Structures are given as structure tokens and as C-alpha cells.
Structure 1
Amino acid sequence: MTVFLVIIVLALLAVTGWQISKIFQLSQGSDADTSQIANDKDNRINGILMLAFVIFLYVISIFCFWEYGRFYLPEAASEHGSQYDTLMFVSIALIMVVQVITQGLLHFFAYKYKGEKTKKALFYADNDKLEFIWTIIPVIVLAGLIIYGLFTWSDIMNVSEEDDPMIVELYAYQFDWRARYAGEDNTLGKANVRFIEGVNQLGVDESDSYAMDDKVVTELHLPVNKPVLFKFRSQDVLHSAYFPFFRAQMNVVPGMITQFGFTPTITSEEMRESEYMVDKMRSVNEERKERNKELMAQGEPTLDPYEFEYFLLCNKICGQAHYNMQMKIVVESEEDFNKWLEEQPTFGSTIESKKKDSKPANENNESQESDAVAVADNKQN
């Protein structure tokens, strides 16, 4: 109802302004210029406004880069991240150079060649030299940028088997993630969504011997400076595995396996103690303190202090709870990682526990059935 009233008020204000402009026109003298055709004064005003706008555009751009550059992510936490950032900054620099030159010329010419009664426009039918210049320069620049990007992309995507990367599967479903580590054989067992049943949430093939030492977890741990090759699967819809601090992203497509690899270079603790992140945590916690005062006054639960963690996010709008589809990532020393991984149960032990838990239940059912038969026989006798 409030929104509806606001719309009515805005509409009434618009009608009022339009009526006032009509009254202003009627109040002008008979010698006033009421022609709809622009005169020299109109052209001069518009020329000045064009110059003022481009100056405003440059000022606001400089301000945004200066003021909001702090919201850009800190240094990349992966080995290939520096290449990714360099490619992006080169692209931004080229775009900004072209934007500054073309916008400046556009608005300057709009002012310099503004319409005047004493001036006559000079008509060019064509100019082969100019057309060649503004065609060949973008072609050369874009070709160089594309080739540079292809080499960078190829270098990032081609994970060498000589590096002996650790194999990890990331399984996406509405609205959560699961990670599956290959065991000591570093080979993931086969899997298919048709095998999903009970504790087997990822559809791992129980008949595959390679699957028995796999480990399924809800939190992703990675050893620092160790190459990791991720295999992505989706149970339902299209998802996108997004690692912002590692400068990595890959679509997770139902019915197929996609992959992406990188080497983490900064542990969670090191990133947490970096100057950028310390400043960010302090800023966020100050805002949370102010917010907690309001929540306490309203009798609502307060917010916990913010502490940085890496997260795996979904970058596709995959449903209503898409915003909550994330998994914590812990980058740690290889020693700590190995210790954590040893504590995780294998897929084979999980299945074995399931069978043991279900066996007594079956035996009890059989015992109950035999007792029922015996009671029935006694009644008949």
C-alpha cells in the first residue's frame, strides 16, 4: 500500500510540473522565441553541457577507482592467479585508454562544431585512409589481446600429469556441495546419479574397487603449494564452481564431467593475517557492532564476529536457495592436510557400517516373523 501511495504522489508531482511549465510558457511575452527549432543560444548551451558532462564523467571515474578500488580482491591465492589478474588489468587499461580518447573527442567536437547560422557543415562522401585507420588499429589490438588471452587460458587449463596433481571431485546439488578425495591410489571410483541411495549421496559405484578408499567430505581442505585437479559433477541443474580468491571458475554441467586445476599458494591463516584482510575484518566487525546494538534493542540474536575463510560458491542462479550454496575451503600445510585427511572415513568403511547397521534390523525382523509363525501354530493346535 505504501508503494502504491508513493507512485501516486510521484505521478501527481510529474503532472504538476508539466502544468507549471505550460503556465510558464503562457506567461512569456509576445516577443519570446517559442520555436521548436534550436537556435544559436540552444546550440551553445548544449555544447557547454557536453563538455561539462565529459568532465563530470572523468571526475566520477577517477573517484570510483580511487575510493572503491579497496573492494577489489587482494592478491590471488593461486599460482595462475597473477596471470589472470595481469590479463584483466591489461584489458581494463586498453578499455580505459580507448574510452578516454573517444569520449573526449566526441564531447569536444560536439562543443567545437556546435551549430551556428554562419557556419556550414563540410560533407565527406568517404575517406579510405580514415576508415583504414579506425579498422586496422582495433583489429591489431583485439587480435593481440585474444592471442595473449588464449595462451594464458591454455597455460592455466593444461594441468601437467608430471606434477602429480591431487584428484578431487566436487559434486554440486541443490543447494550444497560435497567433495570426494581420491584415496592412496589417487584415482576416483566410478560414479553415476543412478547409484544414489541412502548414505551414498554422490552415487559412487560400490562395485568399483577404486572407490573403496575415496573419502566424501562436506568441507574442502587443500595442501598449500600442491597442484589440485578438480573434477566437477552436478546432480540436478547447471551450477558453477566459483573460487574468487583463487581466480578460478568452471561450469558444473549435469550429465558430464568438467575439470579445472590450480595450485593454492596462500594458506587460510596467511590470508587472514594479511594487511588487506585485517583491515577488512576490522571494518566489517565495526559495522556488525553497530548492527548488534539495534538487534539487541529489538531482542533479536546478534551477529557473530567476522573471521575470514575461503569459500567455494555457486555462480549460477540455480534456485531459491542459490545464495546459500557454499562450502568452506581450508588451505593449510601438507602436514596438517594429511592429518585431517587420515581422520576422514573412507567410502568403503561408510558402506560397511551401513551394512552392519542394517543387518541386526533384518535379523530382528526374521526373528519376529518366526515368533509370529510359532504363535499361530500354537493357536491352531
Structure 2
Amino acid sequence: MTALLTIIILLFVAVALWQMVKIFDLAQVGASNTQVADDNDNRLNGYLMMGFLVFIYAITIASFWYLGDLPLVSNAASEHGPELDTLMVISMIIIFIVQTVTQFLLHYFAFKYKGEKGRKALFYADNNTLEFIWTIIPVIVLAGLIIWGLFTWNDIMNVDQDDDPMVIELYAQQFNWKARYGGGDNVLGKANVRLIDLDKNNILGVSEDDPNAKDDVIVTELHLPVGRPILFKMRSQDVLHSAYMPHFRAQMNCVPGMVTQFGFTPTITTEEMRQNPDIIDKVQNINSIRIEKSKELTAKGEEGLEPYTFDYLLLCNKICGKSHYNMQMKIIVETQEEFDTWIAEQKNFANSLN
């Protein structure tokens, strides 16, 4: 597939260079220009337009065939995920239908009405009926999608405090993540980057004088209890980052100097997701690649790659610097009992200070 894409790119580059040479020739002042299209030229271009239409449809079908498996569509692990997926799929179907119809009309009419000697074009100054049709239909479709999207967005962002959501802070810095839990009172202590004190191991700038901060728990691995609403508060220490959790259909910018938030309810534990057929296929495919790569490394006397095991991940979705690609944190979704056991083993903020 990579070779095919490379060939296509080289073909496009060659066509672009060819067109640039033609433009340069036409731009020569005083040069004689005999490149006036005749019926044969117009006929050839008409057939080329139809050929390009076939190419567009062929590459579209090939893309669906080889790249159309979208495992994330069936692997939403949050309560709002399926509705977001439905909205995405419907949007893609509408785009596909419109693209298919409009591309056909564009190329077909270019072929049907190609230039011929003696034929005169019929010019319409305006056509109110056509203009109404191609205006009102997109307005209705887009308005429907936008309104649906706004309702979906409001459902996601309006976290009901009556559901007792667990409050967790996601702290972004080049190039890693920290998570801070509110502790037993589920209230995060005040924090400010000006309060960062590395000598005391206060790496998040949490206020030592705030009573609510004493039982806060700071970790480098995010654990979430399944079925419980989570409200994330997000901060950035340095530059603009973006907290992206693809399987939970969650993303929110982390902006220096302000707190942003995003909430969701995880619905599938890590162990359950590992049994998903799509995930099993993905893991097997990745490990088959790693085995081949390990053979190459071993032949060079280097250490082979460890087998891949699926985990949810928190990623940075903003290009925040040279190590942006490696800015991630593992997320473990587990039962409430497993979470309680894990959190009880962690040091609170007061005990972590030097």
C-alpha cells in the first residue's frame, strides 16, 4: 500500500511539473503560441476527465477496502462514545454521497459539453429554482448536524454534580502527564505554577497551606473506576497541550494560565477491552510486526522488542515540542474494588513532600 501511495504522489508531482512547464511556455512574451485547442484536444480532455473520474472512484473503493476498517468506531469505552460515533458515521455517509454525486456531475458535464467547432454555449444569467435547491438542501442538512452536535456536546460537557463525579486533575508539561486525585474529600487543593518547589517535591505547584490539598494523590498512571462519572480538570505548565483519550472520545486543550475541563463515564474495563475481537486483531498485527523487527535487531546484536499489550492511553494531541510523540500516560479502567485497593496504596500530597 505504501508503494502505491508513493507512485501516486510521484505521478501527481510529474503532472504538476508538466503543467508548470506549459504555463512557463505560454508566459513567454513575444513567443508564437500555436497551442490552440481543437476538437481533437477537447475530445481527449473530455475522455481524460472521465478517466480521472474512474480513478477517483477506484481509489475511493480501494481505500475503503484496505483502510476502511475503523476499529475505534466499535470500541467506544465511554457512556457518550456511541452517540458521538453515530454522529461521525452519519456525517461521513453524507459527505461520501455528496462527494460521489458532485464529482460525477463535474466530470460528466466536462465530457458531455466538451468544446466542438460550431457549438455555442447557452448562458443562464441566473436560475432561481436551482439556486434555491442547492442552497436550502445544504442549509437543512448542516443545520441538522450542527444542532445534533450541539445537543451531544452539551450532554458531554454538562456533568451532573448530583452523580457525585470523581474529580481528577490532568497536569500537562513537556513532555509528560501527571494526574492528581482529590483524595477522600474528592476536592482538589488549590494550585499555581508559582508554587512549584522541586526541592520539596511539589512538582505541580499545589498549595501546602490548603487543607483540601493534604489528601490529594499525585500519580503518573491514571486509574479510573468503571461506571463512575469522572470530571477532569486540566492545566498546563508550559505550552499548549491537548488531553486526548481516543477510546473515551474525549479531548480538551490544556492551556497555560487557565483550567479547562471534560467529563465522561468509562463503561468498559481494560481487561474487557482486551477481549474485544478488534483489539485482539490489532494486538496480533502489532506483535507480528514486532517479531519481524526483533529478528532484525537481534541479528545486529541489539535487544528485541517487548510484546505489545493493549492499554488505554492519554495522549497529547498538540505538537508541543520535539518529544511530543512520546507524551502519553497509561489509563487503567477497573472495578471500584480494584480502584479502592490501588488508591489506598498511593502516598498523599502531605506525605510526599520532602
**Cα distance, 1:139 vs structure 2:** 1.4
Residue in structure 1 matched with residue 137 of structure 2 by the alignment? 137
- Secondary structure, counterpart of 1:230 in structure 2: strand
Aligned twin of 2:158: 158
Q: CA RMSD in A?
A: 1.8
1:84 corresponding residue in structure 2: 84
Shift of 1:71: 4.7
Asked if 1:196 corresponds to 2:196, the answer is yes
Other-structure match for 2:147: 147
Matches within 5 A, 1:197-346: 197-198=197-198, 199-346=201-348
SS in 1 for 2:319: coil
The residue that corresponds to 1:357 in the other structure is none
Q: Deviations over 1:238-285 (max 9, x none)?
A: 100000111100000011000000011111111111111111111111
Shift of 1:304: 0.7
Alpha-carbon distance between aligned partners in 1 of 2:69 and 2:91, rounded to the nearest angstrom: 19
Find the residue that maps to 1:331 and give its secondary structure: strand
- Structure 1 distance, partners of 2:216, 2:84, is 32
| Correspondences of 1:45-60 after superposition (within 5 Å) | 45-60=44-59
Instruction: Give the whole-Å Cα distance in 2 for the aligned partners of 1:314 and 1:260.
Output: 15
Residue 72 of structure 1: CA displacement? 4.1
Give the total of aligned pairs.
Answer: 324
Equivalent residue number for residue 100 of structure 2 = 100
Distance in 1 between residues matched to 2:61 and 2:152, nearest whole Å = 29
Per the TM alignment, residue 80 of structure 1 is displaced from its structure 2 partner at its CA by: 0.5
Q: Deviations over 1:288-345 (max 9, x none)?
A: 1111111111111211111111110001111111111111100111110110000001
TM-score (norm 2): 0.88
Does the alignment pair 1:69 with 2:68? yes
For residue 332 of structure 2, give the secondary structure of its aligned residue in structure 1: strand
> Mean alpha-carbon deviation: is it higher for 290-299 or for 220-229?
290-299
The aligned amino acid for 1:64 is: S
Following the alignment from structure 1 to structure 2, what is the Cα–Cα distance between the partners of residues 234 and 123?
59
Q: Are the equivalent residues in 1 in contact too, given 2:71–2:278 (CA < 8 A)?
A: no
* Inter-CA distance 76–318: structure 2 relative to 1 (3 Å threshold): same
CA distance in 2, matches of 1:284, 1:102: 39
Identity of aligned residues (%): 64
Give 3-state SS (helix, strand or coil) of 1:184's partner.
Answer: helix
Alignment check: 8 A CA contact 2:314 2:330 kept: yes
Shift of 1:95: 1.0
Tell me what 2:24 maps to: none
- Shift of the alpha carbon at 1:90? 1.4
Could you list the structure 1 runs, at least 4 aligned residues long, displaced by more than 6 angstroms after superposition: none
Kindly provide the CA deviation profile for residues 167-192 of structure 1, in whole angstroms up to 9, marking residues without a partner as x: 00011111111000011111111111
**For the Cα contact (< 8 Å) 2:167–2:188, is it kept in 1?**
yes
Q: Which has the larger radius of gyration?
A: 1
SS of the residue corresponding to residue 77 of structure 1 reads coil
- Listed as ranges, the gaps of 5+ residues in structure 2 are 1-9, 22-32
Q: 1:278 to 1:72 in 2, by over 3 A?
A: closer
Whichever residue aligns with residue 226 of structure 1, its letter is R
